[in-house]
Copies of this chain bind each other. A is one copy, B any other.
Amino acid sequence: MIGKQRWAIPEGYIPAGSTGPAPEMTSHETICILNASERDADVEITLYFSDRDPVGPYRLTVRAERTEHVQFNDLDDPEEVPRGTGFASVIESDVPIVCQHTRLDSRQAENALLSTMAYAGDS
Report which A residues bind B (CB closer than 8 A).
2-3, 6-11, 13, 15-16, 18, 23-24, 27, 30, 32-34, 36, 46, 48-51, 53-54, 65-69, 86-88, 90, 98-103, 105, 108-121
Contact = CB atoms under 8 A, between A and B. Distances in A.
B116 A117 contact: yes
A32 B50 contact: no
Nearest to A66: B50
A98 B8 CA distance: 7
Given A2-B121, A11-B100, A34-B88, 5 more contacts: A2-B8, A10-B67, A11-B69, A50-B68, A67-B88
Interface of A is mostly: strand
Contacts of A114: 102, 112-115
B119 A116 contact: no
- Point out which of A2, A30, A108 has the most chain B C-beta atoms below 10 A from its C-beta: A2
A23 to B, nearest CB: 5
